[in-house]
Structure 1
Amino acid sequence: CGGSVSDPSGVLQSPNYPGNYPNDADCTWEIQVENNFRVTLTFRDIMMQSGTCQHDYIEVYDGPLHSSPLLGRFCSGSFPTYVSSSNMMSVRFHSDSRYSFRGFQAHYSSIPAGHNTTIQCLPDYMHVVVSRDYLQSQGYSAQRVTLKDSRCRPTVTSQEVVFNIPYNGCGTMQEENNDTINYSNTIRVASSGYIIRRKKNINLHVSCKMLRKSWQQVVYAAEDTVDVDEYQFGRYKMNITFYESPAFRHQVRGSPYYIDLNQNLYLQACLHSSDPNLKVVVDTCVASPDPHDFNTLAYYLVRNRCPRDSSYATYYSPSGHFARFKFNAFEFMSQHPSVYLKCQMLVCRLGDYSSRCYQGCSSRAKRDTSPAEEQVDVVVGPLQLRGGDGPSGSTG
């Protein structure tokens, strides 16, 4: 139950709804809509074990579960509505081992945030747009908008001032907090008065924070001079590619990838980021015949960095942005026409020996990730055994 939700609107409900939910359930939905939109969540039905909400309950968070304010915790009563301050909201449903009821159903939708300054956290840079109409309404000129490093100039159009701020340049600062890797910079808007300055200068502090599975984007103004308070979320850009040999020189181009039983399969995960101080490793890889369901029929190759298949092995990688590994085509594949892989990757700070990237096999649950450690899911496939319906030659 639970998972990532990215549609502009939809329905959340407890497992088996409108039937009784199971005991010992713990489900988290991460709702992420478009940048510069907000999430509105309205509960339409709630029937759970009531009382102090210590046993069965629903929690709503204003962003990611482990690093965002709690908007509400409840198990009965009226049907509340919540609005996020960003384009992300998390909903957690928990039940204990005693009583079971119908559960809940809720509807969510996205609404425009309506701000005059927007920010997107892209793989290599922050994309920040400031409205010229907004600047002019406050008495400021678009020609006096600069970064802390004034050599990095914006693009000024008839309607906007646009900055593409690299994570490793233009004065961008890097900092590690409890659960984030923070890239921050400052956009300065100078007063136009030369002799008598009646207005304060504006400092717009912009930052991208790498959270669990997402980028958090923040914009705020110093000294309360501008009413800007924005949070946006995105995702790490990561891909996994099959290679023909352990030399990792030639990618497999065909899709589906036709293979033989017990054939060695070589994969490379690549993190696309301009920050050289990151390291990526394989945490969990699971195979399934359904690219949308990795629970019902699943075969684990590696789980929590602990190999589950005897053929699984890792290779040396030339950069922290790459993770290389292999396994053999297994009997599970002969039972299904197509098989997909879902791999969860860990991203940590290079040299952070307290993180799971450096600790190897671990029995800790996902929620116990250490500071400055992130998780990204990637699905690859399909894989098909070479046979009567597939080509007889090699793919390349």
Structure 2
Amino acid sequence: MASYTLLLLLASCCGALASHHYAGVMTFTPKGKNADGSFRVDFRYKETYHTCYTTNSWFCRSGNCGTIDRFEIGQVDSNSNGANTQGNTWCQSEALMTRNIPSNTPFEMWKTGCCWIPSDSLGSWSLLTHVDLGIRSDTNEPNRSPVTTIIPFIRIPRNCPRTFNLLAHDPDNDQVRCRYGRLGSNECHTCRQHSGFALDENSCTLTYWDAFITKVNAFEIVLEDYPTQFSIQVDPSVHDCTEGNILPKFLFPTPQNGEKLIAAVGQELEIKLKATATQSWVKNFIISGPLNITKYNTIRGAVGESRIRWTPTKNDFGDHVPICFIAESQQGYRIFHSDMRCIIVIVKHKSGNASVICTETTMTVEVEKASIIGLHEDHLRLNDPSCTPTSNQTHVIATVSLGSCGTVLEEDADNLIFKNEIMSFDNVGDVITRKHQVEIDFVCCYPKKSRVYLDFQAHKIPYVFTEKAFGKFTYQFEFFHSELFNTAIDTDHYPVDVALKDVLYMQIKATSSVANTVLFVESCRATPVDDPDYHISYDIISNGCILDGTVVVYPSNSTEYRFGMEAFQFIGQHEQVFICCSVILCVAGEPGTRCSQGCTTPTPTPAPVLHHLHRRDAATQTGRHSISQGPLRLKKATETTVSNMGLNMNLVFIAAFLLVVVVIVCGAVIYTVKRPTFKYQPLPSTDF
């Protein structure tokens, strides 16, 4: 079912601007029925002006919009680097408005005013929300609005292309489409489609190429199922568009765009952000999120960090809450913004009582039975279905080694992070359950300097993803012994020892339930840690083009990519190398997909004309997914002469190292009601 609104985007230049409206957004969530049969609906809306706005001026345009039962409003974020208007500041506020609606027949709510930050001939602005609470045939529940939010004011240098992902998450799993407003339908004032910008209607992405001059560009766009407005300021050009230099770049552990997190009612959720800009100063993080969200910034030279904190209330239970963030840096009087990332927080029941014990070789989680209502202890398993927890009279207990039962390894510059989960099932081999659905995640973190780093062989098992139109698909990345690609290097031999100029034979293989697909390797880079965004890296393939002169691509089928290259080492104290690749799966033979384009130049070119596709048309390619394999470890050259002093010092060093006690940094557990989510998970080897 479609709910829609008018979206007004504003791209503006720097200069003497005199008006005050920056942005607006509204979403709605049905909250059940009242005793009299009316519908209780929560409306959340954000507005951004040069000062904080604290009043409600929405009115009913058509239908019966019911009556207001509850209203509260508060500040989300503010910034002093606005569009040089009304003191150069802006303030974003969010309001929560609960309305009692007499029936589920559609109605429209509207808000309008004057004026936008000046942009072409556009002066007044309006927000239109079409609400349809009709009962869905697939869920037997009222239709829900997709959720969205937006950073209200975004900057881009004129000569730096950028893609804006307009957050479009639908709790009902409907596809959300974005389109330009139609003049004949009174959806826009001027209905202009500006050169230098391209809108992908199905993915809701707005791509900026080059506005040619720093001027205001007003966009009036309809987004079916939600309303949102925001402003983009096109600043003068810069000499370097590389993210991480002048423009800020997000670093781990910042969540990826589109990531889904779980929060529990009454428990504080903390989200960590980190960004760097070596030629400017990271001074702030701008956020857009729910009422009562807070941030705590820490700036250390070229690197800035922030902790976003929010505690959901009982009223938030079941909500899909959007949060967006941008890093802001400064060089002299110039202000720069990073790309925008947005995540979804799904609010669940309060966590059960559980504890995690991390040892040098194992993880143990103990869950108190009484803390999880409806727990079926005989229908639980771990990531690997062959592994099941045990129980006693009071607790469910699971103990796994760091390399078994589907344990997933993640890594940052300082720590190894091991993750697994306990989940419910009905019968052996089932992929669904109709019992009380639970998901208990548990985590252990270890510093790399501890002995666990030497004991654990960090071979990556296949990555599993799920996307609409492609279902479940996997990527398997392996090193092989020869160009015949008939024997992969055994997992027990990781890290893989290599000598300089040894040929490395690598294969990436895609497996999908969808027939007639093709694999495209868009980029591969080497890093000394398992992080493709690490500040030290070496590009092997970029934009589908081979950059390393030793690379040889070997014949393979459409869902395999085989290549080889000579081994190397990073200059400095780096003992290991990981190979990280970005891969895409496409429908074979479809024109216009990234797979069909092959090697492309990084120089911006005019965007192709985007044809209007039907709302239900199937996707022809997946998103970009990052996979990695390693580590590779350089063989040490044999020393022919060693002085007694050097030998003694080495013995002392080795003895001291062997006495190091593993320091367990963190143990974490999260219990949630399980819902399908878009994430990767290890695939048991029995599936191959």
TM-score by length of 1: 0.48
TM-score normalized by the length of structure 2 = 0.29
Larger Rg: 2
